[in-house]
Amino acid sequence: MKIICIGRNYGLHAKELGNEIPDKPVIFCKPDTALLKNNEPFYLPDFSSDIHHEVEVVVKIDKAGKTILPAFARNYYSQVTLGIDFTARDLQNELKSKGLPWELAKAFDNSAVIGNFMSIEHIDISNISFTLNKNGQQVQEGNTRDMLFSIDAIISFVSRYFTLKTGDLIFTGTPAGVGKVAIGDRLQGMIGTKEMFNFEVR
Ligand code: MG
Centre of ligand 1 to C-alpha 19, Å, is 13
How many residues are given for the chain? 202
- What is the rounded average pLDDT of the residues 41-51? 98
User: pTM of the entire structure?
Assistant: 0.97
How does pLDDT run across 136-167, given as a tens digit for each residue? 999 999 999 999 999 999 999 999 999 999 99
CA of 50 to the centre of ligand 1 (A): 15
Domain enclosing residue 112, as ranges:
3-200
Q: Give me the pLDDT at residue 19, please.
A: 86
CATH code: domain of residue 19: 3.90.850.10
Query: 10-28: string of b/e by CB count within 10 Å (b at 16+)?
Result: beebbeebeeeeeeebbeb
Total count of domains within the chain: 1
CB-CB contact of 128 with 57 (8 Å): yes
- State the chain's mean pLDDT as an integer: 96
Contact in structure between 53 and 132 (CB atoms under 8 Å):
yes
Beta strands, E only, 76-148: 77-85, 87-88, 112-114, 118-119, 129-134, 137-143
Q: Is the predicted pLDDT of residue 17 greater than 90, yes or no?
A: no
The environment of the single-atom ion ligand 1, i.e. residues with CB closer than 5 A, is: 54, 85, 174
